[in-house]
Structure 1
Amino acid sequence: MKKVLLIRLDKIGDLICTMCVDQVSFLKDCDVRWVISKGLGFVPDNADPKRKYIELSKENWKDSLHVLRKFLREYKPDVAVSFQAPWWVSYALWAENVPTRAGVKSQWHSFLFLNRGLRQRRSLATQHEADYNLDLLLHAFDIEEDLLQEKTPILKLTAPENIALLDKYKLAIKKYVVVHPGMAGSALNWPIPKYIELIEEVSKTTQVVLTGTPADESWLKDIKEHFKSNRHVLSLQNQLKPAELFTILKDAKAVVVPSTGVAHMAASLGATVLGIYSPVRVQHPRRWAARGKDVHIFMPEIPDMDNVDPQCMEQIKVEDLLKVLALQ
């Protein structure tokens, strides 16, 4: 049985767009392990099927390098594919004599330590991030894309049944809408007044649940203040463990969210997702859209993806989202 190590030391959305590729048929009889960022174990733990993995901290890289080299000596992978990782990961693969060391041929360490590098200009956003990841995996195994005859898989996540959680917050399955306006700033977002306008309309007939972390406070502060007296708007910011957030997303009528990890989580859980996306080339939904059975994309129509006025996000109309919500 061939041993395959897949590496992505990145954020939640990036990991979800990568972990899906291990479902391709030619890995069916392989022993596949993952190396992921510390704190993201809830993704493979709630994946279907569950994945085997180790977590590493990019910040504490010296200790992580030691852990990785020890793991490599014990696991002895035949193939390692680095989808995104710092230099010391490439070095560890080389130092521990992994036979096939694949990755994106870009930074200096990829030329020095990898022996199956692939040039990819992902910034052109000509296809989805998951497709780029599959291309890299195919290159690692020297498989022609045309011979695969498979579409890029979609990661399936599961959420535990948690009636007690819903009862605690007086929520009924498919009777509430999640609005997650926060993001890390990696893409253009919808203006806060637009989120407020949407929530005002939705909350007239449907419970609205706000989600987020402390890092999302700049996006949620004005929204929470505006609706502090509205009993139909419930803030669960920083109150949910990852598995609980999965349940809240899965059981929602719909999830309204910009281009951030929660969009990918909700889509992989099978939720209806209303995704708000930027037309900037490197942020475009062609590359970063959530992938699932019921995903709706909202994006300004801009002729030039390389010359975008940030104010263009105002063009996304509240009524267009309301039309989709009315059909759910």
Structure 2
Amino acid sequence: MDRILIIRVDKLGDFCHSLPAFSLLKRSLPDSQIDVIVAPIMEPFAKAMPFIDNVLVYRKEDDNLVETLRERDYQAAIVMHSHKRMAQIVKEAGIPYRLGQRRKWFQYLYTHRAPINRSACLKPEWRYCTDHIEYFLCKNHIPPADIHDRVWQSPDDRGQWQQFYGQAEGERLVFIHPGSGGSEGSLSTQQFAEIADSLVRHTEQRVKFVVTFGPGEESLAQEVVDKIAGLGHTAVKAPPLAAVEEFIRSLAAADMMIAGSTGPLHAASLHNAITVGFYPHKTRDDKIRWQTLSEDVRRLSFSPPQGKETGTQLKLIDAQLVGRKAAQVLHKQFS
């Protein structure tokens, strides 16, 4: 197949986990045109990926998308996550090979359905994404290339971003993102402050905390800064950046990111930063599926006790324990 379209129109974290799959497809079909449809906010970052040839943008109000896809004459469309509207669009565009996943009522819109059960949470999300691509390749008798989880080289301007965030010599930059970004909750501002305090007390590293925020979260970030500073530690609110793509690049400066399972946590893992994530634990183990792309030794995850009543109560996570564990990893990686 010469022209293949991949659809991934959801959030930052989901897109980060799709990058190994995009890379796998391009390396398996190096002479094919691999185009991707993304959400508007992800367009600049998607364009920076060397294994994506063209980037299209999905907007709900765009009535011309079907015609655009029809004109581009794609031979195959791969819908990476269950999305009813995009399933309808690729069918209306007349794309002959349409691959989605089973388990949704609108799966009849696809010509092929991959047997992927993400809700089982038995493997990382990025592996479910590569499974999807491997299914496509094998069904079309195309040998898959090797699977790589680290597919994006961190920019060479790490020093520039360290300067941007005001890093002093001998200092470690520990980022905190207290917002939930639409994911399943986050810790309280007091918990983040206690984690920061515990981390500093259990490490010999000099630490500066940088608190990041998304739209509508600036006051939340300021509250975390004030609480950490009130405990006698160095903390600043992150300077604003114009675009998500710029923010992702700037995370090259992060030695550690502490956050719920949000886009910034997963974006920091693209740079192999130490990630400290918090996940609900009701009837499935989200910390397996949504583990970050950082190396195993640079990844920590915490959940409340499993159960319908306790599993969503992130306030039950022991902030002192998190800080101690984070300090241990920081020491191992930088001492």
1:137 is aligned to 133
| CA spacing shift, 1:148–1:114, aligned 2, 3 Å | same
Shift of 1:289: 0.8
Measure the CA separation in 2 of the matches of 1:306 and 1:42: 41
1:180-221 deviation digits (Å, cap 9, x = unpaired): 222225235334322102323556832211111133347425
TM-score (norm 2): 0.81
Cα offset, 1:232, TM superposition: 2.1
In structure 1, stretches of 5+ residues that fail to align are none
Residues 1:323 and 2:333 are matched in the alignment: no
Residue of structure 1 in register with 2:55 after alignment = 53
Q: Is the 8 A contact 1:11 1:261 kept in 2?
A: yes
**Gap change, CA 1:295 and 1:162, over 3 Å in 2:** closer
Alignment pair present for 1:179 and 2:176: yes
Contact 1:176 1:253 (C-alpha < 8 Å) held by counterparts? yes
Aligned to 2:234: 232
> Which residue of the partner structure matches residue 23 of structure 2?
23
Compared with structure 1, are the counterparts of its residues 326 and 177 closer, same or farther at alpha carbon in structure 2 (3 Å cutoff)? same
| Pairwise CA distance, 1:237 | 5.9
Bigger mean CA offset, 236-245 vs 31-40: 236-245
- Over aligned residues, Cα RMSD in angstroms? 3.2
Q: Distance in 2 between matches of 1:180 and 1:34?
A: 28
Task: Give the whole-Å Cα distance in 1 for the aligned partners of 2:180 and 2:304.
Answer: 22
Tell me, yes or no, if structure 1 residue 78 matches structure 2 residue 75.
Answer: yes
Equivalence for 2:265: 263
What do the CA deviations read for 1:116-164 (whole angstroms, capped 9, x no partner)?
123433212112212222222233344499x758446444154462756
Residues 70 and 281 of structure 1, relative CA distance in 2, 3 Å threshold = same
The alignment partner of 1:91 has SS state of helix
In 2, Cα distance between equivalents of 1:97 and 1:280: 41
Q: Which runs of 4+ in 1 moved over 6 A?
A: none
| 1:89 corresponding residue in structure 2 | 86
How far, CA to CA, are the matches of 1:143 and 1:150 in structure 2?
A: 17
CA contact (8 A) 1:80 1:93 kept: yes
1:297 to 295, 300, 304: 300
CA shift in 2, pair 1:298/1:168, >3 Å? closer
SS in 2 for 1:139: helix
Separation in 1, partners of 2:57, 2:182: 25
- Give the corresponding residue for 2:286: 284
| Partner Cα separation in structure 2 for residue 50 and residue 158 of structure 1 | 17
Change (3 A) 1:279 1:231: closer
1:275: how far off? 2.6
* Number of residues of Structure 1 aligned to a counterpart in Structure 2: 321
User: Where does 1:209-228 land on structure 2 (aligned, <5 Å)?
Assistant: 209-217=210-218, 219-227=220-228
* 1:73 and 1:96 in contact (8 A); partners too: yes
In the alignment, structure 2 segments of 5+ residues that lack a partner are none
Amino acid of the residue matched to residue 319 of structure 1? R
2:6 is paired with a residue whose SS is: strand
Deviations 1:236-295 (A, max 9, x none): 164564344234311222222221111111111232323333334556121011113363
SS of the residue aligned with 1:321?
helix
Report if the CA contact (8 A) 1:279-1:299 is conserved.
no
User: Which segment is superposed worse, 294-303 or 160-169?
Assistant: 160-169
* Inter-CA distance 118–305: structure 2 relative to 1 (3 Å threshold): farther
Quick check: 1:35 aligned with 2:31?
Answer: no
The aligned residue for residue 273 of structure 1 is 275
Matching of residue 12 in structure 1 with residue 12 in structure 2: yes
Q: Secondary structure at the match of 2:317?
A: helix
How does 1:236-251 map onto structure 2 within 5 Å? 236=238, 238-239=240-241, 241-251=243-253
CA-to-aligned-CA distance 1:31-60 (integer Å, 9 cap, x gap): 1000001121132133355552111123x2
CA distance in 2: counterparts of 1:138 and 1:164, whole angstroms: 38
Identity of aligned residues (%): 17
CA change 1:202–1:42 in 2 (3 A) is farther
What is the identity, as a one-letter code, of the residue corresponding to 2:94?
A: N
Give, in whole Å, the separation in 2 of the partners of 1:182 and 1:283: 21
CA distance in 2 between counterparts of 1:36 and 1:135 reads 20
Structure 2 SS opposite 1:317: helix
Q: TM-score, normalised on structure 1?
A: 0.83
Q: Does 1:105 align with 2:97?
A: no
Distance 1:210 1:126 in 2: 32
Whether the aligned pair in 1 keeps the contact of 2:46 and 2:55 (CA below 8 Å) is: yes
The answer on 1:312 being equivalent to 2:316 is yes
- The answer to whether the Cα contact below 8 Å between 1:203 and 1:232 also exists between their aligned partners in 2 is no
